[in-house]
Amino acid sequence: MRKIANVGFLLLPPFKLIDLVGPLQVFEDANQHINDGAKYRCHIFSECGGFCRTDTLIDVPSVPWKQPSELFDTLIVVGNSSSGNDEQEKNLIRGAVGSARRVAAVCVASIALARASLLTGRKVVTHWQNSIEMQREFPTVKVEHDAIFVNDCGLWTCGGVTSGIDMALALVAEDHGRKVALDLARTMVVYMVRPGGQSQFSIPLQFQSRQASHELEAIAEWIRDNIAEDLSVGEIAQQAKMSARTLARKFRESFDCTPARYVELCRLEKARGLLEETDLSVKEIAVLSGFLEADRLRRSFAKVLKVSPLDYRSRFGESDRM
The verdict on 39 and 145 lying in the same domain is yes
Please indicate, yes or no, if residue 179 is contained in any of the structural domains.
yes
Distance of CA 154 to the CA centre of its chain: 17
The verdict on 159 and 29 lying in the same domain is yes
With bands split at pLDDT 50, 70 and 90, how would you rate the model's confidence at 46? very high
The verdict on 184 and 246 lying in the same domain is no
The verdict on 139 and 224 lying in the same domain is no
The verdict on 233 and 182 lying in the same domain is no
pLDDT of residue 229: 94
The verdict on 179 and 256 lying in the same domain is no
Nearest to 277 by CA among 321, 223, 311: 321
For residue 230, give every residue at least 6 positions away whose Cβ sits within 8 Å of its Cβ, in sequence order, or none: none
**Residue 257: domain span:** 203-316
The verdict on 74 and 170 lying in the same domain is yes
Name the maximum alpha-carbon separation found in the chain. 70
Please indicate, yes or no, if residue 104 is contained in any of the structural domains.
yes
Please indicate, yes or no, if residue 46 is contained in any of the structural domains.
yes
Please indicate, yes or no, if residue 321 is contained in any of the structural domains.
no
Rounded CA gap, 172 and 34, in Å? 10
Is it the case that residue 191 has pLDDT exceeding 50? yes
106 and 164 Cβ atoms separated by less than 8 Å: yes
Of residues 161 and 205, the one with the higher pLDDT is 161
pLDDT of residue 307: 83
Report the domain count for the chain. 2
CATH number, residue 256: 1.10.10.60
Please indicate, yes or no, if residue 193 is contained in any of the structural domains.
no
- Other Cβ atoms within 10 Å of 284 Cβ, number: 13
pTM over 0.95: no
Nearest to 51 by CA among 81, 93, 21, 13: 13
The verdict on 86 and 139 lying in the same domain is yes
pLDDT of residue 293: 96
Is it the case that residue 203 has pLDDT exceeding 90? no
Which amino acid is it at 12?
L
The verdict on 264 and 214 lying in the same domain is yes
With bands split at pLDDT 50, 70 and 90, how would you rate the model's confidence at 322? very low
Please indicate, yes or no, if residue 278 is contained in any of the structural domains.
yes
Is it the case that residue 120 has pLDDT exceeding 80? yes
The verdict on 250 and 103 lying in the same domain is no
The verdict on 169 and 224 lying in the same domain is no
Is it the case that residue 67 has pLDDT exceeding 50? yes
The verdict on 23 and 93 lying in the same domain is yes
The share of the chain scoring above pLDDT 70, in percent, equals 90
Nearest to 302 by CA among 277, 276, 273, 268: 268
With bands split at pLDDT 50, 70 and 90, how would you rate the model's confidence at 140? very high
Residues in the chain: 322
Are β-strands 60-64 and 50-52 bridged in parallel, bridged antiparallel, or unpaired?
antiparallel
Is it the case that residue 51 has pLDDT exceeding 50? yes
With bands split at pLDDT 50, 70 and 90, how would you rate the model's confidence at 213? confident
101 and 71 Cβ atoms separated by less than 8 Å: yes
- Among 188, 212, 245, residue at a domain's last position: 188
Nearest to 77 by CA among 55, 54, 103: 103
CATH number, residue 37: 3.40.50.880
Rounded CA gap, 48 and 84, in Å? 15
- Among 165, 188, 211, residue at a domain's last position: 188
Q: What is the chain's mean pLDDT, rounded? A: 89
Distance of CA 71 to the CA centre of its chain: 27
Lowest mean pLDDT among 144-148, 153-157, 202-206: 202-206
- Among 131, 154, 188, residue at a domain's last position: 188
State the average pLDDT over residues 285-308. 92
Rounded CA gap, 137 and 249, in Å? 23
For 291, phi then psi, to 5°, come to -75, -25
Is it the case that residue 219 has pLDDT exceeding 70? yes
With bands split at pLDDT 50, 70 and 90, how would you rate the model's confidence at 85? very high
Please indicate, yes or no, if residue 67 is contained in any of the structural domains.
yes
